[in-house]
Structure 1
Amino acid sequence: METPSGESAPSLPGFVEAFRHSAPYINAFRGRTFVVCFGGEAVADADFPALVHDLALLHSLGVRLVLVHGARPQIEAQLAQHGVEPAYHGGLRITDSAALTCVIQAAGRVRTEIEARLSTGLAHSPMAGMAIRVVSGNFVTARPAGIREGVDLRHTGEVRRIADDALTASLDAGAMALLGPLGYSPTGEVFNLFAEEVAARTAVALEADKLIFLGEGEAGTGARELTVEEATVAAGESAGEVRRTLTAAADACRAGVHRVHLLDRRRDGVLVEELFTRDGAGTLVSRERFEGVRPATIDDVGGILELIAPLEAEGVLVRRDREQLETTIDDFAVIERDGAIIGSAALHAFPGDRVGEVACVAVDPDYRGQGRGDGLLDYLLRRARSQGLQRLVVLTTRTGHWFRERGFEPADLDALPMDRRALYNFQRGSRVLARDLA
């Protein structure tokens, strides 16, 4: 089978599975505003058309896109061509009149290249039948960066204001907006800006749902997730593009952008993989953890039931109906990952005996073997100690070794609180394990 572009389609079962899993994200992103920032390196790369196709895909799915491009390699090429020696101070380019001419020429060429790519609509291509309107303009008001340690940075500037009303009107009209590393002052001057700052300030002004940086690596951290505080620390330990990106990500989160994605643009399909799969493909910066253990609420009952249903069918867990879960939900803790419940566990306390029963420990099969079960158990241990419990017990038919590796020892039925002992299912024949709390 071939696709409309004439390419071979992926195997049907794998494609159907992936497409079904992407449905919740497609629904969630429709009508949302994303700001996507990439450097001139991406535009100069031979694989840039593939990135354009992915951006066009987002647009076709109803995502409101603002693209922010850089032009560093193109500026360097223009400077060399005109015999202008690059000058820097404190990591900032000193943009004199000759350098500004090169910056304007380079940024204009990059913008034209992007607009041309987004205008492609040839038959038998991934953008066949598309008619994307791209809007560029003087959306960024800038001011001079000024004099730093006695050095005048001339036409190097900082973002002063984003014309969010005009940008919103363009997005409302169905256009894709394109901003570059240039800003303009009320006095008619042009300033050379960092694309990362333009992107962050634009995301904040538009109250964007996501800010996405497509860089030359995963911001140099290798981490899957960073809090604002962690990103700030990492920025202080970095330099160059990595430092600017991490600083911009942290600043944007502090100012209200909920999620910032740091992606390696050299990875084919990274944008689609990050946005339409649960695990993503880069580093997420957010004010709150993307994944974590927390107390369960009544809204989690459906997710827990879905998680434990396969284990109940196998006989690993005792069957629980919705009513049972609802009445004991305060005993549960869950691991939530991007809105999905991927782990659960319960601590049923018997205060009179100072004993707690660990129950219903379950982790989604896709996330096992990565320490999440230990995270749940550690959470229950802390909860048990805070409740003044002195001992934990667990009833198990198949996971005894896992609990024994974590300090539980075989025990007899007398280890169970009297109320729990009366409910013991002799037909099931569960082993009793116990662990004293220090």
Structure 2
Amino acid sequence: MTEHGSGDFDWFRNTAPYINSHRGKRFVLMIGGEVASEGALAGLIHDIALLSSLGVHLVLVHGSRPQIEIRLQRAGIRTDFHRGMRICDSEAMASVRDAAGALRVDIEALLSMGLPNSPMQGADLRICSGNFVTGRPIGVLDGVDHHLTGRVRSIDGDGIRQQLSAGSLVLLSPLGYSPTGEVFNLSLDDIAVHTAVAIGAEKLIMFGAGAGVHDGEGRLVRQCAVEEIPQLAVADATQKALVDTAGRACRQGVPRCHIISYREDGALLRELFTHDGSGTLITRRPWEQSRRARIDDVGGILELIQPLEEEGVLVKRSREMLEAEIERFRLLERDGRIIACAALYPCPPDDCGEIACIVSHPDYRGESRGRRLLGELEQEARSIGLNRVFVLTTQTAHWFIEQGFEEASRDALPPQRRDLYNLQRNSKVFFKRLRSPSGR
């Protein structure tokens, strides 16, 4: 029998938080026709099948621009573009419908595979396609008649959610149907964004040739808030189009958009199940702002923590103490009002720090604000070289256990903190070992 060290399985154990987080969530995958034309579709389908088996509810929106080009060339049909959109008359529309339908069938065939000794063995995926997208004609724009080129009028979000809840994977082609029986050629990104918004998707995942988005100096941008998009110096036109699509989706309510490579084998799984991901994550920044506390915030912090001090949940802090320690605090502010706070106290020369005073205003509890501040302080601790953080608590032990802390003895505290331990309060001690940030 071959023996294996526990480290051989650490990579798999580390995926558990992501598996649990993604289970039951709705993701929209925007797959351009280039994925199929460059031969990358089969590998991506294997990863999609794995996602589905882990309980992720998936909507695939596929494009077909390269396939349309081939059919138009064969038919000797020339089409013009206006504002990046192909102008389709009835003659060109025949090629558009043929290309979209053929590629949809190819994708369904790959999703239906179940060969033994293959990644699809036992996948047993059920695929649903239908008239979920209602289109409308663009009409005349800038004096140009777009004929059968259209835009999304509406998405049947309820119908898609019903199919997802029933265990089906929903596949959408770049076509829209009208109540009068017409078919319109729609843009891939238009359908993907509208669908993600309509079904309340947690993520919109887009595929490009490169690994995410690179800045003007060629460096991969790992993460970007939607407000920071104007500052991105993206030279590549295709990457810029993906960033613009992500921005539209975030501004309409999609929390996270990912831009990853279809050429990189396993990029989808690395993006979703590893700490560092594989591409670029664009997030919708909450309208509540997180920031470092300032001296003029002392009054607001005192007002926030006073009720818990009176209940004995927190150690009492005087105004003078808060003023001296104000740089340790991080706040969540909403419309100029402090609604949550937390503090980090490094313990040199030890490799750890104390996290303290995690408080949310009673009107805003139960919405993960404490967890958000904890995550930001853990990231700060990592940035200054700390490997562990600890807390002392009398009444919130279970919450910290849920955040990955483990109970320890009082003797595990750094010496200077152990000397200040209040025996009368008899607080429990919890430690957490820090890992590299994920953000995925």
> TM-score band, normalised by the shorter chain?
0.5 to 0.7
Aligned pairs (5 A) from 1:64-103: 64-103=57-96
Q: Which of the numbers 178, 182, 202 marks the counterpart of 1:209?
A: 202
Unaligned runs of 5+ in 2: 293-328, 332-339, 361-370, 389-418, 421-440
Superposition CA RMSD, Å:
3.8
Alpha-carbon displacement from aligned partner over 1:300-321 (angstroms, at most 9, x marks no partner): 98x979xx8xx98xx635886x
Q: Give SS of 2:101's match.
A: helix
* In 2, Cα distance between equivalents of 1:281 and 1:364: 24
**What SS class does the counterpart of residue 356 from structure 2 fall into?**
helix
Describe the shift of the 1:233–1:102 C-alpha distance in structure 2 as closer, same or farther (beyond 3 A): farther
TM-score, normalisation: structure 2: 0.67
Rounded Cα–Cα distance in structure 2 between residues aligned with 1:71 and 1:319: 53
Alignment: residue pair count: 332
Normalised by the length of structure 1, the TM-score is: 0.67
Task: Tell me by how many angstroms 1:13 deviates.
Answer: 5.4
CA deviation after TM superposition for structure 1 residue 338, in Å: 7.1
Counterpart position of 2:297: none
Pairwise CA distance, 1:226: 1.9
Does residue 33 (structure 1) correspond to residue 26 (structure 2)? The answer is: yes
Is 2:172 the partner of 1:175? Answer: no
Could you tell me which amino acid in structure 2 is paired with residue 223 of structure 1? Answer: V
Question: For 2:48 and 2:179, how far apart are their aligned partners in 1?
Answer: 33
Q: Quick one: distance in 2 between partners of 1:337 and 1:122?
A: 46
Residue 341 of structure 1 deviates from its aligned partner by: 2.1
- Equivalent position of 1:316 in the other structure: 350
Partner of 1:46: 39
Query: Do the aligned partners of residues 195 and 232 (structure 1) sit closer, same or farther apart at CA in structure 2, a change above 3 Å counting?
Result: farther
Match of 1:254 in 2: 251
Moved more, 144-153 or 13-22: 13-22
Kept in 1, the 8 Å contact 2:208–2:259? The answer is yes
Offset of 1:244 from its aligned partner?
A: 3.5
* Equivalent residue in structure 2 for 1:125, among 115, 118, 126: 118
Counterparts of 1:293 and 1:15, CA distance in 2: 40
- What residue identity is the alignment partner of 2:378? I
Match among 7, 14, 21 for residue 21 of structure 1: 14
Cα–Cα, structure 1 residues 224 and 361, in superposed 2: closer, same or farther, change >3 Å? Answer: closer
Q: 5 Å matches for 1:220-259? A: 221=215, 222-231=220-229, 234=232, 241-259=238-256
AA paired with 2:257? V
Pick closer, same or farther for the CA change 1:288–1:165 going to 2, 3 Å: same
Q: Counterparts of 2:191 and 2:108 in 1: how far apart (Å)?
A: 19
1:382 corresponds to which residue? Answer: none
Query: Alignment partner of 2:78: what SS?
Result: coil
Once the two structures are TM-superposed, the CA of residue 231 in structure 1 deviates from its matched residue by 2.8
Q: What letter matches 1:181 in structure 2?
A: P
**Residue 56 in structure 1 maps to residue 49 in structure 2:** yes
- In structure 1, C-alpha distance between the alignment counterparts of 2:376 and 2:44, rounded to whole Å: 28
Matched, 1:115 2:121: no
Distance 1:140 1:326, change over 3 A: same
Larger radius of gyration: 1
Partner of 1:326: 356
Q: Quick check: 1:343–1:364 contact (8 Å CA) kept in 2?
A: no
Whole-Å separation in 1 of the counterparts to 2:385 and 2:359: 15
Q: For 1:135-154, what aligned pairs fall within 5 Å after superposition?
A: 135-154=128-147
- What secondary structure sits across from 2:243 in the alignment? helix
Partner of residue 7, structure 1:
none
1:279 maps to amino acid: D
Following TM superposition, by how much is the alpha carbon of 1:120 offset from its aligned partner in structure 2, in angstroms? 0.5
Q: Go from structure 1 to structure 2 and tell me whether the alpha carbon gap of 1:197 and 1:243 turns closer, same or farther (over 3 Å shift).
A: farther
Rounded to whole Å, the distance in 2 between the matches of 1:241 and 1:78 is: 23
Q: Give distance in 1, aligned partners of 2:214 and 2:55.
A: 32
What is the match of residue 403 of structure 1?
none
Q: Map Cα deviations across residues 56-85 of structure 1 (whole Å, 9 max, x no partner).
A: 000000000000000011000010111111
Residues 220-247 of structure 1, C-alpha deviations (whole Å, 9 max, x = no match)? 5432122213335659x76854343222
SS at match of 2:16: helix
* Structure 2 CA distance for partners of 1:342 and 1:15, relative to 1, 3 Å: farther
Residue 278 of structure 1: how far off its partner (Å):
1.8
Instruction: Name the residue aligned to 1:343.
Output: 380
Give 3-state SS (helix, strand or coil) of 1:201's partner: helix
Give distance in 1, aligned partners of 2:358 and 2:136.
Answer: 59
Q: Which runs of 5+ in 1 are unaligned?
A: 3-10, 346-359, 366-421, 424-438
| Identical columns (%) | 43
Residue 342 of structure 1 and its aligned partner are, at CA, apart by: 3.1
Query: 1:214 Cα shift?
Result: 1.0
Q: 1:100 to 1:328 in 2, by over 3 A?
A: closer
Q: 1:145 Cα shift?
A: 1.4
Q: Deviations over 1:385-438 (max 9, x none)?
A: xxxxxxxxxxxxxxxxxxxxxxxxxxxxxxxxxxxxx99xxxxxxxxxxxxxxx
Q: Secondary structure at the match of 1:129?
A: coil
- Aligned partner letter, 2:229: A
2:295 corresponds to which residue? none
1:316/1:117 Cα in 2 relative to 1: closer, same or farther (>3 Å)?
same
Query: Does residue 161 of structure 1 match 2:159?
Result: no
> Which deviates further from its counterpart, 14-23 or 50-59?
14-23
CA contact (8 A) 1:216 1:265 kept: yes
